[in-house]
């Protein structure tokens, strides 16, 4: 895009020439509270005045980590009561896969076609798209890649399987949601064979789909939950969260089963906690479904093949990748920042900060429809 950014505030990003973009991607589901919310900036500044990095994660009691872990566990199912903070989403995936291997003593991992869990080698191994994996082989052995939302594919999960990693919505496929029935069947299968169920809510967490966590809306709970992106309120942060009894498997033989220098950086935790408090104190999450419905209503055009929405995670599908790219580029020229998806280049990504107003949605949709008409 080559946007030479000098400022980002609320819904807008400004470049060196003074041109402004209405941001419909929010740093890829990171900036749920908009850019630089004053409360988050204040929390960051306060933490900078106290201390930044002091020692590798876990060696000292750092109150921003403790307070944020408390907030998270207070807002999660009682079985998700132990938080391991990481630098990123993919590091959370790595930690969770390692934890599942230690807890079960098994090595087989299962993931789903067209799922994305990060770009490091363990995450790549369970990622569900051969085009993105192939150049980096050999990857981890003994990985099952199953069909998403297929009841039949669940049969392949067995007493050999350490864990099953699943997104509650496959974002990079172009927004395909799982059904509650299927997630429940997956949960039951994992229970029956003793596999851990890892849910990746890195993109869907923190209100994106209209509830604080997407899995609670379906009433199906993971053994390990992955968080990232909006977790840090605009600062880098990830986490894998499990029951203390499971997490204990990382404390013995070797004593430090997962090591990270910067994981849970105090400035990131301070920012994340401020953002999380803002989300739960505001109406932003409860407004998500209405705002999503407004997008869906307004995004009607003969060039648009489909619009899929999981709350304010939306995918607008065009005839093919070439047309999608031209329309995306035209929107960006016109000051509306949109993007594509890794496994769905024929689709436009819309995942704005949750603070977006109805007027901004209308303006954005006008621009997208104009771009569709111009590119036909
Ligand atoms: N899981 C999902 C569902 C994601 O969308 C992403 C990032 N796009 C990741 C994991 C990896 O996060 P990170 O880029 O912070 O490593």
Domain boundaries, the chain: 5-32+284-374, 40-281
Rounded average pLDDT over 279-291: 98
How far is the centre of ligand 1, averaged over its atoms, from the C-alpha of 267 (Å)? 20
Rounded average pLDDT over 264-283: 98
The model's pLDDT over 27-76, given as tens digits with 9 standing for 90+, comes to 999 999 999 999 999 999 999 999 999 999 999 999 999 999 999 999 99
How far is the centre of ligand 1, averaged over its atoms, from the C-alpha of 226 (Å)? 10
How far is the centre of ligand 1, averaged over its atoms, from the C-alpha of 175 (Å)? 14
Cα 142 from chain centroid?
Answer: 26
Tokens 């997962």 belong to: 258
- Neighbour count for residue 48 (Cβ, 10 Å): 12
Q: Which residues contact 61 (CB under 8 A, 6 or more apart)?
A: none
- Assign domain 5-32+284-374 to a CATH class: alpha beta
- Report the nearest-CA residue for atom 8 of ligand 1: 118
Residue ranges of the alpha helices (H) in 10-167? 26-29, 38-50, 63-74, 89-104, 121-126, 130-133
| Mutation probe of ligand 1 site: the residue of 118, 225, 265, 343 with most atoms within 8 A of C-beta | 118
Q: Of ligand 1's atoms, which has the minimum distance to the CA of residue 29?
A: 5
Cα–Cα distance measured from residue 32 to residue 44, given in angstroms and rounded to the nearest whole number: 17
Cα–Cα distance measured from residue 299 to residue 306, given in angstroms and rounded to the nearest whole number: 9
> Residue 269 in contact with residue 236, Cβ under 8 Å?
no
How far is the centre of ligand 1, averaged over its atoms, from the C-alpha of 373 (Å)? 33
> Residue 374 in contact with residue 359, Cβ under 8 Å?
no
Rounded average pLDDT over 264-282: 98
Cα–Cα distance measured from residue 267 to residue 52, given in angstroms and rounded to the nearest whole number: 6
Q: Taking Cα atoms as reference points, which of 165, 166, 161 lies closest to residue 108?
A: 161
Name the strand (E) or helix (H) holding 14. Answer: strand 12-15
Q: Which residues line ligand 1 (CB under 6 A)?
A: 28, 88-90, 116-118, 167, 171, 200, 202-203, 228, 238
Cα–Cα distance measured from residue 306 to residue 319, given in angstroms and rounded to the nearest whole number: 10
Cα–Cα distance measured from residue 304 to residue 298, given in angstroms and rounded to the nearest whole number: 11
Q: Is the pLDDT of residue 247 over 90?
A: yes
Q: Of ligand 1's atoms, which has the minimum distance to the CA of residue 28?
A: 8
How far is the centre of ligand 1, averaged over its atoms, from the C-alpha of 302 (Å)? 33
Rounded average pLDDT over 264-280: 98
Q: Which residues contact 113 (CB under 8 A, 6 or more apart)?
A: 128, 129, 145, 146, 147, 148
pLDDT at 279: 98
How far is the centre of ligand 1, averaged over its atoms, from the C-alpha of 123 (Å)? 9
The model's pLDDT over 173-184, given as tens digits with 9 standing for 90+, comes to 999 999 999 999
- Report the nearest-CA residue for atom 1 of ligand 1: 117
How far is the centre of ligand 1, averaged over its atoms, from the C-alpha of 169 (Å)? 13
Rounded average pLDDT over 111-133: 96
- Assign domain 40-281 to a CATH class: alpha beta
- Report the nearest-CA residue for atom 5 of ligand 1: 203
Q: Is the pLDDT of residue 339 over 90?
A: yes
How far is the centre of ligand 1, averaged over its atoms, from the C-alpha of 140 (Å)? 19
- The crossing angle, in degrees rounded to 10, of helices 38-50 and 266-281 is 150
Confidence category of residue 1, pLDDT binned at 50, 70, 90? confident
Confidence category of residue 323, pLDDT binned at 50, 70, 90? very high
| Mutation probe of ligand 1 site: the residue of 229, 265, 340 with most atoms within 8 A of C-beta | 229
- Neighbour count for residue 191 (Cβ, 10 Å): 11
Phi, psi for residue 38 in degrees, rounded to 5: -55, -35
pLDDT at 169: 98
| Mutation probe of ligand 1 site: the residue of 29, 116, 215, 231 with most atoms within 8 A of C-beta | 116
pTM of the model: 0.98
């Amino acid at each position: 895009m080559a946007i030479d950014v000098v400022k980002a505030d609320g819904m807008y990003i400004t470049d060196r020439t003074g041109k402004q973009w209405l941001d419909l991607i929010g740093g890829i589901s990171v900036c749920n509270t908009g850019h630089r919310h004053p409360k988050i900036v204040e929390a960051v500044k306060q933490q900078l005045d106290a201390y930044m990095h002091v020692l590798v994660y876990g060696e000292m009691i750092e109150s921003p980590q403790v307070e944020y872990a408390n907030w998270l566990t207070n807002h999660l199912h009682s079985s998700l009561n132990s938080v391991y903070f990481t630098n990123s989403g993919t590091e959370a995936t790595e930690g969770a896969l390692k934890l599942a291997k230690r807890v079960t003593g098994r090595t087989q991992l299962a993931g789903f076609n067209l799922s994305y869990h990060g770009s490091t080698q363990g995450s790549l191994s369970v990622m569900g798209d051969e085009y993105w994996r192939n150049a980096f082989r050999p990857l981890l052995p003994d990985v099952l890649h199953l069909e998403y939302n297929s009841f039949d594919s669940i049969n392949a999960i067995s007493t050999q399987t350490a864990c099953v990693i699943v997104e509650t919505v496959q974002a990079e496929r172009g927004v395909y949601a799982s059904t509650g029935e299927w997630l429940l069947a997956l949960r039951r299968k994992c229970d029956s064979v003793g596999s851990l169920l890892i849910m990746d809510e890195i993109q869907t967490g923190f209100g994106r789909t209209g509830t604080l966590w997407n899995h609670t809306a379906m009433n199906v709970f993971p053994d390990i939950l992955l968080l990232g992106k909006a977790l840090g309120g605009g600062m880098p942060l990830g986490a894998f969260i499990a029951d203390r009894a499971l997490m204990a498997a990382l404390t013995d033989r070797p004593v430090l089963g997962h090591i990270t220098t910067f994981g849970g950086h105090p400035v990131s935790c301070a920012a994340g906690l401020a953002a999380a408090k803002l989300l739960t104190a505001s109406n932003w999450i409860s407004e998500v479904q209405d705002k999503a419905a407004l997008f869906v209503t307004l995004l009607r055009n003969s060039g648009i093949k489909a619009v899929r929405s999981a709350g304010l995670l939306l995918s607008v599908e065009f005839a093919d990748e070439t047309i999608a790219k031209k329309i995306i580029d035209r929107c960006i020229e016109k000051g509306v920042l949109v993007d594509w998806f890794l496994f769905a280049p024929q689709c436009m990504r819309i995942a704005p900060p949750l603070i977006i107003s109805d007027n901004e949605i209308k303006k954005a949709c006008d621009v997208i429809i104009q771009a569709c008409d111009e590119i036909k």
